[in-house]
Each structure stands twice: as structure tokens, then as C-alpha cells.
Chains A and B, each alone.
Chain A
Amino acid sequence: SILCRLGLTGEPDGEADGDSKADTPEIPTSVDNTPQCLNKALEGLSSRWRNWWIRGILSFTMISGFFLIIYLGPVMLIIVMTVQIKCFQEIITIGYRVYHSYDLPWFRTLSWYFLICVNYFFYGETVADYFGVLVQKEEPLQFLVRYHRFISFTLYLAGFCMFVLSLVKKHYRLQFYMFAWTHVTLLIVVTQSHLVIQNLFEGMIWFIVPISIVICNDIMAYLFGFFFGRTPLIKLSPKKTWEGFIGGFLSTVVFGFIFAYLLAQYQYFVCPVEYDSETNRFAVECQPSELFVMQEYRLPAALQNVLRWKTVKMYPFQIHSVALSTFASLIGPFGGFFASGFKRAFKIKDFANTIPGHGGIMDRFDCQYLMATFVHVYIASFIRGPNPSKVLQQVLVLQPEQQLSIFNTLRSHLQDKGILPPPRPEAQ
């Protein structure tokens, strides 16, 4: 991310002896996308400071834009989609360029077709859950939902057969490369962007906090590296230092802890997003779960002596935020290293030139994807259980005998727990 870019030149680090020199294209020199107004304002400064200012201003703009979008609410769905499509396009364009694709007319069509297929599949699964009531009303929608997997599979198969039919003599290897490239990109970009959306539906806080933590870690690690950096961290990214890494980790945990406290107070962030079919709008209104209710914790004896407090009041979510921050600082950077290695391997400076001073969208989001996956797995494992309405749906689809046996098991379970009155002495 930010740190890697400052010193990275196009050294021939990615070139293995067996690689062909023929298929490493000359990357066109970066186009300067800086808007005219910024250029004028920074005319006087030296080149290095000018670069620094541009990056700073753009960072600030992006963060403000981020907060504006949060204010607009669940329309963020559209933003996530846009980011996903742009990332996909950037990676596919690189693959296209790297392999000098020889006027293979189907390649681009097929890649976009597969993107649409996979998105259709994922959105169908999500929509069926969250828009259940709306779907029940419309007849054609019901058909699409019931046979959703089969329809998605058929669409994918059509693309697969098209690919096989499009194989051209003398270009087989290239076509297989691009097929694999497309699929790996879909796996990384599309799957994880849908995890982001699912996180968002759990509650906007599960979307905002992880992203903010990653951004904070980036900025903090850069600042610590700038002021105190001395020991290099990893060969892949020569500008990163251990001081930046550790300083970033500690400051991110502190920031996360405080930010979690700030956000957990508002229902707007904490409640699951629901679609209200009467007003046809998204609603965030609920009884906050116990995770977001202030609780008292007894401090361990050692801390009691130091702080002279017996108990401390926190949101349980703040404890979870420590886990999230730790992941973002310690493991998240591996996503960045992966992307750096990828760029060196294919001898590109940035994924694209979309954002002046920062590179492409993918450059900004490389660490985010790993974070989103972690948050999703974390939520699924530790926070929430299965979705009750989905479970009820499944029960109602079963055969009557199966429903009856489940009913009996559930009843004895509830009676054991004391929620239902115990069975009467008369046999049923």
C-alpha cells in the first residue's frame, strides 16, 4: 500500500531465468492524472514534497468521501459493487496486457460474462435471505429463487462451453492462462466483496470499523516508519520497517478500542440492516444485541493495583475490536506483501492510474479484502448463529414426518431448558 509505493522502481526482481523476455511488455510510463487545480496550488514546492502533498490531499478526500457514504447509509452496496467491478477490470486488463492477447475476441466478453454469472449467483443467495418477504410476493421471483443454483450453474456452463469452443489453434496456452487468470481474480475479488456485503448487513459497524482499522494501520505504520524507521521488515517491500510495523500495531489497537467505543453507542451503526417491505427502504432499527450494551468487567488483580480501579465499563464489542485490530496490523500487511510480490512478478508499478498519487483502486483495497474475509469468518464463528428466519424457511420445506420429528425434538429440548412447561403427566 502507501509504504510500498514510495520507493518501488521497476527492478527486474520478478524475472525468473526460464521466463520469456518476449512476454514481458513494456509498461507505459505512468500518466499523471493530477487535476489541474492541484498542480497550480503546489507549483512552488520541490518534487518530493509535492508528491507528499498530493498523496495527503487525496487521502483526506478519500476518507471524507468514505464518511459521506457512511452517512448516506446502506447505499454503500452500490459503492461496494463499483469497487469490485473496477478492481476486476484492473486485474483483467493487466492479464490482458501481460499476455499480449492476440485479438482473441472472446476473451474480454467471456471474462465479463463470468463476472456477471458469479455476481448473479452471490446476489441471488443474499437477496433470497434478506429480501424474503418481497420475493414471496412476486411469482417470477419465486421461480428464480427456488431454482437459483441450477440457473446459475447453467449460465456458468454456457460460458464454459463457449470457452471450449473458442479455443484457437496456436493460442491454447494463452487462452488457458487467461481462463485461469479470470477465475482466480473472480475468486479473490468477487467472493470477498460479497463477504463485505454480508458483513454490512450484519450491522454497518462491521463494515466501518474493519476498513477504518486498516486505513489507520497504514497511516500509523507510515508515520512511525517516517520518524523512527530503521530496521527493514521484509525484502518484498524495502520501505517497510519493524518500527513502523510495531508502532502501527500498538496505535491501531488503541485507535480501534476508542473508535469502537464511539460507534457502539449509535443504533444506526450497530443494528442489522433490514429491508422494510412496507416502506420499501432499508431500516436500521433494533434492540442492540448484548455485544453493544455496556457491561462491567472486573479487572484482574495485577491491573487493579496499577490503576486503582476495581471494575471497568466497556462494550464487549471493544474486546472484539482488539482482535480485529490485531489481525489488521499483524496479518493484514501480508495481503499488501502479496500484492507487492504480484506487482514485482509482473513488473508493474501500480495496478492502474485511477487515483493520482495512489495508483489504482486495487492498490487501495489489497489489504482490505483479507480483512473482510477475516471479519466474516469471525462473525460467523464467534458472534452470530444461524439466521432464524432462514432456519424456519428450511423447516417449512421439509416433509411433514421430518417436521414432526424436529418438532418433538425441539419441544423436549425447550422443556429441558425450562422455557416450555414440562409435559403433563398424561401421555400424549
Chain B
Amino acid sequence: MLMLYHRKNRTNKQKFSETEGDGEAEGDSKADASEVPPATDDTPECLNKALQGLSSRWKNWWIRGILSLTMITGFSLLIYMGPIMLIPLVMAIQIKCFQEIIIIGYRVYHSYDLPWFRTLSWYFLVCVNYFFYGETLADYFGVLVQREEPLQFLVRYHRFISFTLYLTGFCVFVLSLVKKHYRLQFYMFAWTHVTLLIVVTQSHLVIQNLFEGLIWFIFPVSTVICNDIMAYVFGFFFGRTPLIQLSPKKTWEGFIGGFFSTVIFGFIFAYLLAQYQYFVCPVEFDSETNRFAVDCQPSSVFVLQVYTLPAIVQNVTRWETVTLYPFQIHSISISSFASLIGPFGGFFASGFKRAFKIKDFADTIPGHGGIMDRFDCQYLMATFVHVYLTSFIRGPNPSKVLQQLLVLHPEQQLSIFNALRSHLREKGVLTE
């Protein structure tokens, strides 16, 4: 994430002093701690000229600031363009993160011209993505799929096809084992799989959150960004007590200040977003116009409700009731998670970088490091939001349930039909 408060004084000197033997255990081989090439300066020429006069520290600060602003603006622009842009964006980020981590693994282990390794890793990435996209597409593009015959076949036997594809990769891996390189190859196999588990699975959770409603994508991402920036600012002005050995630049003042300001920001931002159908409605694919549509009756979570304040608060604020979106109450739990548990994702990534003696995951973004650096906290957040959604907000997806119904045997369908009819009659929904 924007670990601004982590790398406050990033001069070249400190770059190498931080990577002291913190990750080296006595049993580790010194041979496979590769010398990490010094970070190349990717800053565009125009920026360099504009900031020529400033001292190195302020130049760095300005570069990070400008890039942050650019990223946030770009993000807002993509939101404006809607789901049709966001899904490819999530995919692109996922692929880039995967590539960054695999390259690190590759470098860390001095992979000895093992020609299948990269091919296999990318092959597994394609397999797992195929599996996940198939599951999602079958749900959301149900109508489109019904029309095309080959698509129907792919959907019905989807799991079997995915499994077969994966097995092929597995067999190729076994056949590619080369004498004297077994351990290396097993390491890289495990490295690939753990990366897939972390990066790919969670990016698909992001996409599922997105389909629930853009707000379930925008809001968590914004809270994490806000927490980063706020914790940095509080740490910058008030920081005194170190928080954790892993990240020496983080402070308790930053942590707590970030927590409170994120909760408040989240509360207000939730209020602002919940008013617009564009953010609140589930994304649906309209098969007539072949476009994504966001059009619905907002669910009860996004409808203003009147809450009676508890007596104590009534005395203090002299209001009897307050009108809120229920979503704002949910926003508090989301913000709390982002501020209190989210940073653990960042600590995990810091520990990982120290363990493998790398400064950044890559050099893609000037001043910030690689894509993975920006997104390490986001992944944990996305998983939490997904679990939160499925547990507390939404029930099963009706079109998915209908699909399952239509696949059952006619006798089973009939028995469900009868059970449903009596249930609806009891509820008074059905009058016949």
C-alpha cells in the first residue's frame, strides 16, 4: 500500500542499510541470497526537470506525492468508466502482481535455465483464472450462455475441464523434473502455488465484490488508501512510539490516529456514495444491449433509516433520532478492519521482503515500488469484504439457485415446487 510512513527518508544510503542480514538464518545458504540490483530510476524526464532545484529528500517526497495523485485520479477515472474498465483493470493488476512475485522467486533461486519453469507458472496462472472466470461467468452471464451451444458444454463440464487442464500441468511438471535440480523445482512449484492462492484467488474475490455493487469495491479500496495516508500524516507530525520491529517507521500514534480518521472518513464517504444508484446496484449484464447495467431498486442497506439514539447520546447531542444509511454502520466495521487488521498484510509483505532481502517487489511505479507494494494490504481487505458480504449482507444469488434448480431431476423439481408453493402461500405472497 501507500506505505508512505514506512519509507519516509528513502535516500540511497538507507536503501542498503535496511537490508542488513535481517532475513538471514544461520542455516540458510549464502549462495542463494542473490545480490539485488540497485533500483533503477524510472522517473519520467519531465518530472525530473521540473524538480531539478530541490534537494534529494524533497524531490523524493514530491515524486511520491505526484504519483499518488496521479494514481488516485486514474482510479477515479476508471470508476467513472464503469465495470467494463474495472474488470480488465483487476485482471491486469493480478497478472502484474503474479509476475512480480514469480520473478522474485526466480531470482532468489538462481533458476538454472529450467525452461519449463516459467511456462508452467504461466500455464497454472491461466488454468486457475480459467476455473474462476468460468464459475463467475456461468452465474452472471447465464442468459448469454444459454444461447450458445459450445458455451453450454463448457459450462456444464466446467470443473472437469479445469481439473483436466490442471492435471496436464501437474504431469508436465513431474516429467520435467531434472536430476540435481529436484529441490529447486519443488521450491518453485510451491512458490507458484502459494502465489496463485494469494494473488489470483483474492483478485477474483475483488471481482465478485464488484459485481455486488461498485460501492463494495470502491469503498474498501478507499478506506485502505485513506488509512495509509492518515497514518503517515499522524506519524509524521506526532509519531514517537515505534509500533513493531518489522517496520521501524511505523508508530503507535500513526496507527491510532489513522484508525480514528479512517473511521470518520469512511462514515462520511459511505454517506456520499450510498446516494447514487450507480454505486449501489449490483452489476448486471444486459443481454439485449450487450452492456453492463447498474439499475435497480436499492436494497434496504442503502435506504435511509431513522435510528433512535441511546439515552446517553441523546443527552449529549440533544438529538432524539438520527437518519442514517445502514451501510454507514457497516462502514464502521470495514474501516476498523482496514485500520487494525489490514496493516498486518503490510507487515507480512515487509517480513517477506526482509526475508528475501529485497527492497521492493519491483520498480514499476517511480517512488513507490512495484504494483504488489501498493496492493499488499488490499488483498486481505478484499477477502474480508467478501466474507463479510456473504455472511451479513446478501443471501444466495437467485439466478444461480435457479440454474441449479433447472439441472435437477423432474421429480426433485416437482417436490421443490410443491414445497415452495406451500411456503409462499403461508407467507401470503401467493394468493391462488
Contacts and interface: CB of A to CB of B under 8 A. Distances in A.
A31 interface: no
A189 to B, nearest CB: 14
Contacts, number: 238
Interface stretch (A110-118, A134-142, A203-211, A378-386): A378-386
A170 B186 contact: no
Interface of A: 12-20, 22-23, 99-100, 102, 146-147, 149-150, 153, 157, 160-161, 163-165, 167, 169-176, 180-181, 183-184, 187, 234-236, 331, 334, 337-338, 341-342, 344-346, 373-374, 377-378, 380-382, 385-386, 388, 391-392, 394-400, 402-407, 409-411, 413-414, 417, 419-420, 428
Contacts of A404: 424, 429-430
A176 B416 CA distance: 50
Contacts of A175: 351, 355
B10 interface: no
Given A164-B351, A403-B429, A19 B420 contact: no
Count chain A CB atoms within 10 A of each CB in B173, B179, B427 and give the residue with the most: B179
A165 B246 CA distance: 9
B151 to A, nearest CB: 16
3 cross-chain pairs, A with B, having the tightest CB-CB distances, nearest first: A20-B29, A172-B355, A345-B182
Contacts of B410: 414, 417, 419
Count chain B CB atoms within 10 A of each CB in A18, A146, A235, A382 and give the residue with the most: A18
Interface string B81-110: 000000000000000000000000000011
A410 B408 contact: no
A16 B181 CA distance: 5
A385 B355 CA distance: 47
A346 B341 contact: no
Given A377-B160, A410-B413, A164 B186 contact: no
B27 A99 contact: yes
B89 to A, nearest CB: 26
B401 interface: yes
Interface in B211-259: 244-246
B29 A164 contact: no
Contacts of A235: 179
A417 B408 CA distance: 13
Contact of A331 (B159, B167, B396, B404): B167
Given A176-B351, A386-B407, A391 B401 contact: yes
A386 B354 CA distance: 47
B174 to A, nearest CB: 5
30 contacts: A13-B179, A14-B183, A20-B27, A146-B391, A150-B391, A150-B392, A167-B351, A170-B22, A170-B24, A173-B356, A184-B190, A334-B171, A334-B174, A341-B182, A345-B183, A345-B185, A385-B404, A385-B409, A391-B404, A391-B408, A395-B420, A397-B395, A400-B427, A400-B429, A403-B420, A403-B423, A404-B430, A405-B398, A410-B405, A414-B413
Contacts of A180: 190-191, 194
Given A345-B183, A407-B420, A174 B171 contact: no
Given A20-B32, A100-B27, A183 B194 contact: yes
B122 interface: no
Given A180-B194, A378-B160, A396 B29 contact: no
Given A15-B180, A395-B416, A397-B395, A386 B404 contact: yes
Contacts of A331: 167, 171
Interface residues of B, number: 86
B432 interface: yes
Contacts of A19: 29, 31-32, 183-184
Contact of A170 (B21, B173, B423): B21
A377 B159 contact: yes
Contact of A407 (B183, B246, B384, B430): B430
Given A150-B391, A180-B194, A172 B23 contact: yes
Given A157-B341, A385-B408, A395-B401, 13 more contacts: A14-B180, A176-B351, A184-B190, A184-B194, A345-B186, A374-B167, A385-B409, A388-B415, A392-B416, A406-B405, A410-B417, A411-B417, A413-B413
B8 interface: no
Contacts of A381: 156-157, 159-160
A173 B28 contact: yes
A406 B420 contact: yes
B221 to A, nearest CB: 19
Interface in B160-207: 160, 163, 167, 170-171, 173-175, 177, 179-186, 190-191, 193-194, 197
A153 B384 contact: yes
Nearest to B347: A164
